[in-house]
Structure 1
Amino acid sequence: MIPQGASIGDTVLDDRLETSATYKLDLTNNRIVGTTDRLEAVKQAVFKILQTERYRYFCYSDDYGAELQGLIGEAPSFVRSEMERRIREALMQDDRITGVTDFQFDVTEESAAIQFTVVTEFGSFGEEVNGRV
């Protein structure tokens, strides 16, 4: 018997964007405190991406996280060039982020502080990464 009903050609696709609503993290008290959306949700996503070392955790895809640990012990000139590329690559995986700009570096033999602007479809905000190199 041949099935009756709608064919694949009759399928209507929904092009609406998904909401960016997610659980809101209270990092001071290590709790979830409701939900957040739009720019605040992207800020939280940026924090989580930059705190997660890429390829380390099986529960995340290979596109999630930043490869920053591998820069420890490298020359400051190498760290400057690679940090910008790796941060931009990690954050641009999120469809809500449209750009990562205005990088400013303070890299020494011991540590690195990188400031930059994250441009999103909801607005822009400044972010900073600090660490040992």
Structure 2
Amino acid sequence: MIPAIGRAGPITSLLESEGAAGNTELPSLTYRMDWERKRITGSVDGLDAVKQAAVKVLQTERYEFLIYSTDYGTEWNLVLGKDRLLARSELKRSVSEALFQDERIRGLEGVEVTFDGDHVSLSCTVVTYYGTFELRKEWSDSV
């Protein structure tokens, strides 16, 4: 195989450079979502990219869109109409399962589910390789 030469020297694959340099950080550069105008505007990387991915996975119903794998999204519909004690644990499980599909997320801390009438709120701290951020999901339904 003839190696390709770039401006900084030979171009190697990620697998080759991983073996030589240890653990290589993969880029997380992606499109920036403008949620209000429902448009893609520019790009986002690092912690902001993980935040955007977490929000997107929580807004997507699991198994609803064929474009996503069966591991992508949450299953809010499974807890609708259930007892609050069951709903609380199932929401925590579903959110954890959905977010941990992203390998950039290392953990969730302080996961809390609160009820106020028909209003449900989930909040937690997401620990990533880029830092931490607060995540909150709210919706009104009969849970």
TM-score range for the pair, normalised by the shorter chain length: 0.7 to 0.9
Structure 2 residues not aligned, in runs of 5+: 2-12, 19-23
- CA contact 1:80–1:107 (8 Å) conserved in 2: no
Task: Give the TM-score taking structure 2 as reference length.
Answer: 0.80
- Matched residues, number: 125
Structure 1 residues not aligned, in runs of 5+: 6-10
User: Counterparts of 1:13 and 1:34 in 2: how far apart (Å)?
Assistant: 31
Q: Which residue of 2 aligns with 1:8?
A: none
Q: Which residue of 2 aligns with 1:86?
A: 94
Segments ≥4 residues shifted beyond 4 Å? none
The match for 2:62 among 54, 66, 72 is 54
CA RMSD of aligned residues (A): 1.9
Q: Which SS does the other structure have where 1:13 is aligned? A: helix
- CA deviations on 1:35-78 (whole Å, 9 max, x unpaired) are 00000000000011000111111110011111112211111111
User: Counterparts of 1:109 and 1:71 in 2: how far apart (Å)?
Assistant: 15
- CA contact 1:26–1:32 (8 Å) conserved in 2: yes
The match for 1:39 among 33, 42, 47 is 47
- CA contact 1:39–1:123 (8 Å) conserved in 2: yes
Q: Which residue of 1 aligns with 2:131?
A: 123
User: Counterparts of 1:32 and 1:105 in 2: how far apart (Å)?
Assistant: 31
Percent identity between matched residues is: 38
Verify: 1:74 aligned to 2:77, yes or no: no
User: Counterparts of 1:88 and 1:32 in 2: how far apart (Å)?
Assistant: 27
User: Counterparts of 2:90 and 2:117 in 1: how far apart (Å)?
Assistant: 15
Task: Give the TM-score taking structure 1 as reference length.
Answer: 0.86
